[in-house]
Structure 1
Amino acid sequence: MSRKAGKDRGLPSRSPSLESTASQTSAPVVKVGRKASTETLIGQGTVAYGQFLYDCCALLVFCPKHNNFALTKIGSRKGVWLPHVPVKTTEGWFTVTAAKLKAILTVAGGAKSYLSFSPPEMIHLFRIQLPSIARFATRVTYFTQLTHDTKYPTNCCQSNKTVSWFSAQDVMSHNVPELWGPEPYVFCEAFLNNNIDKGAYTEYTLRDAMKYTARDPPKTYQDEMLKSANFTERDIAKIYGEFIQHCYPSHFMVFNSFADYMKKIGWGSNDLDLPSTYRAFAFNKTAYITFHEFLLGLAALDKHTHQGGHTGELRCGYIFRYYDLNSDGVLDHSEMIRLVTDILRLHNKPVDDESVEKEVEKNYAALGIQKSDNINLELFTKGVGTLVFRGSSKLFRFSSPILQAINLKKCYDSISQLHLADGIDDGPGKRPKGTCPRCRTKKYTLAMYAVRISPEGFPAESVEINQDDVQNMSKEKKFYELLQFRSDHMCHQIMEMIRDQAVVACGLKPRYTQKSKNKQQLALWSIADREKLAIIILKILQEAENIFKKESRVVKLNSPAYVLGDIHGNLHDLILYERTLWDKGPACAAASYLFLGDYVDRGDFGLECVLYLLAAKILNPEKFFMLRGNHELRAIQMVFTFHKECVEKFGKSFGPTIWENCNKIFDCMPLCAILYSIPVPLNDPENGSPPAWEMLWNDPVSGNEFGEYAEMLRLQSGSNAFNNLQGFLPNTKRGTAYYFSEEAVSKFLNSNGLSHVIRAHEVIPPGYQFHMGGKVITVFSSSRYCGGNNEAACIFIEQEKIRVLVLDTIEKA
């Protein structure tokens, strides 16, 4: 059910926060009482629904003295919006709002550590219903204004890392760089015009979201266009989930957030002009677009959408708005020049000035108008229908199918599949499908090859199966399956050479076909022509770089999964791991494999280890995951051995090039992974969240050790400088980074809804160690490290069990 606050309630009717397309027959919603104490209003339900959707309080903060409003950055995304704060189920809205205000208005000096402000007043309550789970995320907006302290006038409206101040004129005129949604200027306008009703509320339900769908038969022209674009109800639900996750805490898209999303799904330099595309989407002619404008715009843009009938009429509107550069409702001569030029170019015809002008004059004549006349939408639609503008069906098209681009990029986690019964209800006895991998609806496709397994357990032969049976497989998956079973592919060739090298140089026992090879064949890696081998290696490195560039900096994987720590050029152990953990090769891997970094340095075969793992990643990118370790840095490698190793093995001609291309891949590697709420961190010194960086890079210590270090540092410094570091102390062992205590771990895990941290970066005699009551696990996967006697281990995660596997790396006679 849905209701919106209207003009009669004192809010501007065009307020995007209050728009709703709900039927007026829906049941009434109880209005929030204005006289009730705001301290008793408690956020209900689950706090967070994934990374980007959560209950929150937003703040409209005004400085009456300088006529400024406060805005802040939207998390990790490139945008600014109203200051806001997530709300926990145990917290009151008013309490959270007041605490957030104190945080963002903090100043250095004064009787208080923050600027004084008036008691926050709730001005709007907004709830949005999520797909499948049918729950609501709630956003409560409060208003406050600064009450100035005359003793410290210079502290007012000072922008900092947390908040930036913009003049009311700039906000009202949309002159705010990277604005993420329209709510700031809508609420600002309502306040400045004294047009805010503090009891206003809005709900946006699944019934609202599913106003247009691919019904059979269609009820509206919009339904017909969605059906023509092959948008199913499930597809629309997915797009809705992507839209609300991308926009939140805003409910709408402005150009900045629109452009950001389109680039996420692969909008390239050869695609349509983004500002013009955004203008075409906005058929309501406002400075923002709603979900329906976004959905229908995508359908109109899809390459499969028909140009004829009612769908063609709607598409004419999109094409018209795309070329109407000044949005005056007509196409003048210069705009017609642009339109005709694009038609000719799409049909590979000459686009010189003379040819274009001649075609434009021909079109004007066919329409019966003069060159000086303008063309309105009605006349343009008529011209398309009578084939005056031949070839216009190719205008306003995305380079690939929209749904394919969205599904391929996976910009946001699915909020599961949308379940509708009678519109929105699940009905008695029906449970909505969940969002975790075990509960999510599965869609299976047949693999392209049947694989023959030898008695020794290794893939011996692959047989291509009937192509009609795999027609539902995406092109990308087909591409990788072709790679996985082509024995002549460069990745297979390199991996085979590296396996043989492990036999020759590391003393591993030969297996399978290796037993029939002579010494020269086994030593091919060492004796092959360096230039030819370098060319193959560089091709593999380029392919791997392209894959890593598409991956998120935080990768997510499902169990079962093996997590391996430092390798450090230990080729002997790595090939043994292949024989025991993924013995059927990368193509037939039964689990996911996550490597925590530190592949190079200290060992003799860093290059071989890196190339083997990169080849596995290319062959099966959805099963093999590599994070960046602190040795995957150029400066570290120059101090240790990897740079020297590349030069020694490939000379000064190719060694430095191979080394640099390896590091270009390291630059693109993810920094950490999340598996069933278990963070698997990388020890990478990149700028970012300092607490997260400290947790991932540094060394855990016990409570007693932490106290001893703190006391030692206090004695050395002669001060209390280390009294309040919230669980962190300078790392005296490494001379860089920090030690962290259980206090720091608990704060990190609780703040992020996580259960454990798995880390590498530290040699442990048995190969593993538990810290902080098992909350932190260290794993090391290179046995006999630097000539020592340590063992190797890995972590196996399945069915909510975290199991340590100690890896025996000594082959039996």
Structure 2
Amino acid sequence: MIMPIEKLSNSGHFTNVLSLLINCSTDNSVMLILENVTNNFWVPSVKTDLNSSWSKLIIKEAQEITATKLPVRLLRLSKIWYPRPEGSLYLYHCVFQCDVDANIKNKTKTVMGKYRGKVKWIAETDLLSLSENNSLKSPEILEWCQLSKGTELPQLKFEIPEDIISCNNMCEVTKEILVSGKTTDYQQLVQASGIDKLAQEDIYRALFFNSCYPAIYMNLKAFSTLIPNLGWPKSQIPFLFKCADVTNRFGLSFREFLYFLAIVDPNTGHAGASAELRCRYIFKYYDRDEDRLLKPEEFRNLIIDLRKSKKLLLDAGSITKDLQDTYKALGVLEKQPLNLKDFLRGVCDLKIRGTSHLFRSVTGIIKYLKDNERSISSGEQGVLPVKSVLELSGEQCRVTSDKQSSIPIQKNFDYEIAFHAVKIQKSGQAININEMSEIREAVSSTYLKQPINEKAKRISLNIFSQRSVSNEVLKGLRYLTTINNVKDTKTSYIWGQLDPLVYGRQLIQICNQVREIFRNEPRLLQLTSPVYIMGDLHGNIADLLYFERTLWHIGPGLSPCNLLFLGDYVDRGSYSMEVISYLFSYKLQNPNKVSLLRGNHEIREVQKMFTFYKECHLKLGDKLGNEVWNAVNNAFDTMPIAATVDGKIFCCHGGVPPPWLCPVISAINDIPTVLNQPNQQSSLAWELMWNDPVK
């Protein structure tokens, strides 16, 4: 819903803004204001209200600055989309211009009021230097200066990004800045990161708009306040900003900011178009002098970070040998700089290995948004975490009693009506799922007027909406099991009316999101009963669906029991892809109810000796099949290794490790989170996956 501008008074602290560009025609200088908080240069600005005249307000502002009543003219009108939970609206940033002579310019140097001590006159020739030093709040100032001259100034010209609609003195930022589809490489990148439109809207509102408005570009200062929250050291922020600023504009549009977040997100798969884009950003990140070449010292830094990601030794001898071996494999002399083309070819030919682990945030942007939203909710609304609600103490309850009864009543906890209602037959089968707002006869008019909690809506949609990616995959999976004879492994595989390309892309997206869930789980899960525990599935989708019909026939989300699977999901059977589709989709929907441990077949080398690698290629083709196989294994690399139930039952795929490897059970949590080579990275993990008990 787009809200008309008349409802602006309900938009919180954001209002329309008027700005003023003041030029001195005598010496070709422009007046800027030095902001106290950011130490960036901007133009004089004033907020508006609904009842004020924009013309009168900006003329008054100009008079306060120059002590002279001056004519002003409209220079640029920016219409900027602002999404809110209660409805979207557009805000306007209107830039006016006026010209002064040297006498009036001198008066501004002694201005009082809010601009006292902040006025700086900058020569037009120095504006570009300020921009290159990241001292401007937004590079828009350069564009406004050109508009005020009525001609293009080559030294101040910069590229307008695709997501900003600009025509002469009109500029628009609309809802179309959100990225969807999969036509371009960047669209595929965003899709691979799992940053859907709801998440993009959150990023735009909470991170981009809030830190930039009324500007439409993000500068280094705003970028620096956000990116450390994802786990990046502050010393690396300027280099990260240069990577994100692909056109060297010294300001990021929203899409450029979004693309950067997708590039560095730990959730984003490193295959296909996403891999090439990531490698281009990686090259730019290590090219510290920006000469489009990786000099030996710069390439050495890349090798060091590769070794760090693999937890290898960082002594000078090992690093030098690794560097020499890589140069030799590339066919490049050791002291010769490496260009982008050679770097990309080296990654593609697997002569430079491990780039999938480079250039990653510690925390994914979606997880950061969820954690931030959770902390805000608990701080402002007094919502207790689930554990606190379940473990209500005497202080959290009050008892009202009369002669007949006493009923414990919880203190003021905030509740809200669920987003979906599920209709179930007597047999327990779910036969109808509706959004609560659609059941008009059961919902009061006051409920329908309530603002929607977007976070709760997203969780509910993931579980119940048939349009969610996880449910689309589950629906496709069930269709495939009906048109293929899952009990006869000799019959040829058919897709029917299902598009294998769409199915494969959706599965990759799910794998990337589940990988993030696994990364944030301990290596030793601590579960509570009741729980169903299931062993090796080995590509047997028929047995898995039988378990479903018998044990959780209305889905894991509505089952009273938790589900624990002990590994070996793939190989041997002919339907490993379907087993993974099922387990990962429900893991995504119910991360706290479905638990998956890693077995010895969740290892790439083992799968190549058995059947899963071949199965992906046979069903999806070499290109997409390899991408799916890599995405699945990237998720396997972060799977937990073991679990306990009620602190009394120990569960793993293999067997109990020897005491010299695991003297205490808590040692399992010291296993590295990412294990792409478990035999080399952790002897304990290797034992837990392979150590079959002696009969």
Give 1 or 2: higher helix fraction.
2
TM-score (norm 1): 0.42
